[in-house]
Amino acid sequence: MSQLTELSAVKCFGGWQKRFSHASKVLNCTMQFSVYLPPQAKQGQALPVLYWLSGLTCSDENFSSKAGAQRVAAELGIILIIPDTSPRGDGVPDAPDGAYDLGLGAGFYVNATQAPWVGHYRMYDYIADELPQLCEANFKLGKAAITGHSMGGHGALIMALRNPSRYSSVSAFAPIVNPSECPWGQKALTAYLGEDRNQWQQYDACALLNDLGQNWTMPMLIDQGLADNFLDSQELSRPLQAVCEQHGVPAEFRYHADYDHSYYFIATFIEDHLRFHVAHLQ
């Protein structure tokens, strides 16, 4: 495979769970990402693809090992592409205090403009352009959809809102929807983009959707646990629902009693999301 080094390959539900590394020009480091190729991939036709963006502290391996998505992906014939959450490696800066919500594992899917982050932390361009181009050169990909969890839900939403022609549908689990107004987002956006809040709006799903209003027509599904300890402190999901209701944007928001922020929550409802996306991808 051009430009890819295969790190591992495990047989799974008739397909293959694989992990690759490559040199990223955008991030100026070596990156890893995971791919699930369902059994239909061996037949040679292009298959629909779902991009999964993970949350704070995660790598490309959390979703593939914890969500249990491969069984349904194998049934539906959908490729799963799972990138890492930040640049990594020697010379890549991290939070000076070792905080989990900035630096390594916390790229927030933005293009940093501030030192010391600007040289590596360009996760928006990596997810929007470099990684899809690399995957399209190495796998037979059809239409694309995107989803994610928490910080990754934020990433999925802004990718879809800013690139509506690239995705057939978007979904998220417990997403950060209004980073300009929550502690996680304010910390990250200040560090990566500086104090000018006008620069933050391009990475804020609520701000983007408010600008688009009724022009936004992409199918959207949001799942949120009501026992999520970040639901109120980080203003998850609900502010975006308010914007949708204000503008009459069709979107499905589902709230689940007793479910928290963990991968147990994701594993419970990932099948619904895969079937939601495949219905629009096909």
Distance (Å, whole) CA 22 – CA 29: 9
At 76, list the tokens: 């539906």
Asked if residues 279 and 173 have their Cβ atoms less than 8 Å apart, the reply is no
User: Which sequence positions are flagged as catalytic?
Assistant: 150, 228, 261
Residues 6+ apart with CB under 8 A from 262: none
DSSP code, position 1:
-
Residues 6+ apart with CB under 8 A from 19: 6, 7, 8, 9, 32, 33, 34, 35, 60, 61
Distance of CA 46 to the CA centre of its chain: 22
Q: How many C-beta neighbours within 10 Å does residue 259 have? A: 20
DSSP code, position 202:
G
Burial 94-128 (b: 16+ CB within 10 A, else e): eeeeeeebbbbbbbbbbbbeeeebeebbbbbbbbb
Half-sphere exposure of 89 (CA within 13 A, CB side): 15
Cis before 48? omega within 30: no
